[in-house]
């Protein structure tokens, strides 16, 4: 199975800050990676697919980079509505696996 | 508008069974692979099962293999998850999710639309 490891587990930042979340795969997955945002009590929402493609309707302050084993999700200017937990997911092979999540909070 | 609505969750005793349903609308159901993902209270996301558009391929996580069965009825635009021999650790919110689509290489297992989830609680 491909293990997905996210870091940090939580981050506290101010409005307008740049926030970067990392995701590492235990083996190469090309660009078969997605990022999701989950707000409390809600279902996850797809932000990024294929490592760097922005899902329709997602604000352009979200961006994704990486290939192989190392990936990043960046929020260029943190907004209050971005407070959430973010998960990465590999779509290279079954079983599909998620990272443990990164909680983004406001300072 | 694409919509997914799960149902069938509830309180069940250990060893019991449930059948979860996911009614869909707003897209050509048979053209998309579908998945089930669960989330235990206060925990992360766990993928548990997927099925291709025509049901020719099904996939299950090891944690549920032999106890859970995924199926779909394309005439009813509905996805199912039969869950048997329930354990306390199966307590979770169960989400169904539509996958992104397909290309030359097959299905793209990114989950672009999710239902609101249905809660399964296993307790005596």
What single string gives the DSSP state of each residue in A15-70?
TT--EEEEEEESS--TT-EEEEEE-TTS--EEEEETTTEEPTT--TTEEEEEETTE
CA distance A87 to A102: 7
Give CA B85 to chain center in angstroms.
17
Cβ contacts of A90 on chain B, cutoff 8 Å: none
CA distance A51 to A48: 6
Q: Is A91 helix (H, G, I), strand (E, B) or coil?
A: coil
Judged by a CB distance cut-off of 8 A, whether residue B27 touches chain A is no
pLDDT in tens, chain B (124 residues): 999 999 999 999 999 999 999 999 999 999 999 999 999 999 999 999 999 999 999 999 999 999 999 999 999 999 999 999 999 999 999 999 999 988 877 789 999 999 999 999 999 9
Percent of chain A predicted with pLDDT > 90: 100
Between chains, do B110 and A97 touch, taking CB under 8 Å as contact? no
Pick the closest to residue B70 from B90, B55, B85 (CA basis).
Answer: B55
């Amino acid at each position: 199975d491909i293990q997905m490891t996210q870091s940090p587990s939580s981050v506290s930042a101010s409005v307008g800050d740049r926030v970067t979340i990392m995701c590492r795969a235990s083996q190469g997955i090309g660009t078969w990676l997605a990022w999701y945002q989950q707000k409390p009590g809600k279902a996850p929402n797809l932000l990024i697919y294929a490592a760097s493609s922005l899902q329709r309707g997602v604000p352009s302050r979200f961006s994704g980079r990486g290939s192989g084993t190392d990936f990043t999700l960046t929020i260029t200017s943190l907004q209050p509505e971005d407070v959430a937990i973010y998960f990465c997911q590999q779509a290279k092979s079954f079983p599909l696996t998620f990272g443990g999540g990164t909680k983004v909070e406001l300072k | 508008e694409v919509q997914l609505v799960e149902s069938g969750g509830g309180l069940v005793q250990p060893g019991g069974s449930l059948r979860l349903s996911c009614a869909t609308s707003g897209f050509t159901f048979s053209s998309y692979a579908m998945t089930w993902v669960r989330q235990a209270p206060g925990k992360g996301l766990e993928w548990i099962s997927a099925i291709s558009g025509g049901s020719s391929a099904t996939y299950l996580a090891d944690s549920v293999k032999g106890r859970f069965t995924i199926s779909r009825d394309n005439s009813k635009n509905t996805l199912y998850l039969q869950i048997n021999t329930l354990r306390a650790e199966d307590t979770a919110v169960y989400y169904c999710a539509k996958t992104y689509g397909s290309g030359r290489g097959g299905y793209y297992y990114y989950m672009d639309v999710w239902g609101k989830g249905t809660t399964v609680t296993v307790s005596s």
